[in-house]
A and B are shown apart, each in its own frame.
Chain A
């Protein structure tokens, strides 16, 4: 078993086999940080294929499930190794009235494999709950997803609440979701529009510089 073979299993969405392979590799002395780097490259490749319409939602969801299985095996080893360097803390969720969380879940996985600490608030999240969670976590970033034109205004509500509370400067607010755009992000005063999961870690890292 090699990291390349593990990478192939994740790309092919074989969760059970990928988890077992990760377990074997780690017990054989594989460096968990090296495994994270490998998985980051793998998911970047998967994200690129998705963006080019070479793979579709079923394939990217299965790859995400396989990645989750690998991450679950890595967790105890990472803790033992003193943990991964945290590049930023993010509260992430889908806005109130919107139950579409497939994209958000993929973003979460990709952020975690890229060294970000993510608190997943789930879906149908009230604007104030985003802010409260960010305060409690000491987050750097609030990430809000929306998949419907009718729920996009909820992203703006988060920014409005931060302004009302006088803490707008404390957090970067990032948005994403199919109907959103850079134009929308600019209009509501968000700090960043994330067009896809693949590019999100790099865009956030740039934003936090």
Chain B
């Protein structure tokens, strides 16, 4: 395991080999034979699952948790917990009103599940350090969090009701800044802004709504001395240049992208890059050979700024 190598790759630097990050999220619950609903609400279980995932997969870095409902819950969205999946956001307090009109407040360390996550980090961090494994904090990105706050209408509001959309996404960005500061305080080595739905908008919409509302998170991550990344899902071909402009050290994509294309864009912008292992087709379902997929990814990614990881 090699924490520094992962930090170096995230910063876009050359590394002896490509570091490895299995983005084990709810899988941590499976590894310790626990139900997901308990796992996500119990610091001891969460810490045990994260450490077990790092040990099982011999990870160079591991997310403390991969759950994009944390920030939403901490400002008043209702969640539904599942025994075998991450929680889902059920209610949207900004459905039809701005955060201000809904009376929403930025989260404190005592809000929602943040105390659980702080406590889990306190247990997990020294154990991960012993294994020389980086701890990653994942912050919900502004557009995804805005969709939790306002529901799917946020996607039409960016065109039809931009003032409302700005109010919600701006608030989501401020929440992201708080969350990033929390993860830095917990001792995370790398913090990523995770905005899976940001691939689903025009580049100019990305520039208008996503980029400025990542600034608070990026500032908090760098102020905390951490390396930064931006995770995006889906076909991000049209917005990937924008992704390189949000100010993070690195970015990561999912299995839909061509890694050669991503590598070239990342190197042009001096960014670290990662992801893209076939999470669904190879790692989860075994429909194509995980070994061959891994070899192709390693060959394409090389060892300059590349993190070997599922997408």
Tell me the B136-166 residues at the A interface (CB within 8 Å): 152, 155-156, 158-160
**Complex interface bits, A178-192 against B, C-beta within 8 A gives 1, otherwise 0:** 110101100100000
A sample of 5 more A-B contacts (CB under 8 A), given A183-B285, A187-B285, is A53-B235, A56-B238, A57-B155, A179-B280, A184-B285
Report yes or no: A97 in contact with B84, Cβ–Cβ below 8 A.
Answer: yes
| B283 closest partner in A (C-beta) | A149
**Complex interface bits, A92-131 against B, C-beta within 8 A gives 1, otherwise 0:** 0000011100100000000000000000000010000000
Q: Is the CB of B267 closer than 8 A to any CB of chain A?
A: no
**A contact residues around B238 at 8 Å (CB):** 53, 56
Known: A58-B201, A97-B85, A99-B88. A149 touches B279 (CB 8 A): yes
Provide the bound-state CA to CA distance between A102 and B288, in Å.
29
**Complex interface bits, A39-79 against B, C-beta within 8 A gives 1, otherwise 0:** 00000000000000100111101100100000000000000
Report yes or no: A187 in contact with B89, Cβ–Cβ below 8 A.
Answer: no
B interface vs A, CB < 8 Å?
26, 82, 84-86, 88-90, 152, 155-156, 158-160, 197, 200-202, 205, 234-235, 237-238, 279-281, 284-285, 287-288
Report yes or no: B200 in contact with A150, Cβ–Cβ below 8 A.
Answer: no
Report yes or no: A56 in contact with B280, Cβ–Cβ below 8 A.
Answer: no
Known: A149-B279, A183-B281. A97 touches B156 (CB 8 A): no
Provide the bound-state CA to CA distance between A59 and B201, in Å.
9
Which of A57, A58, A97, A184 has a CB less than 8 Å from the CB of B82?
A97
Q: Is the CB of A84 closer than 8 A to any CB of chain B?
A: no
Tell me the A129-184 residues at the B interface (CB within 8 Å): 148-152, 178-179, 181, 183-184
A188 to chain B, nearest CB (A): 10
**B contact residues around A19 at 8 Å (CB):** none
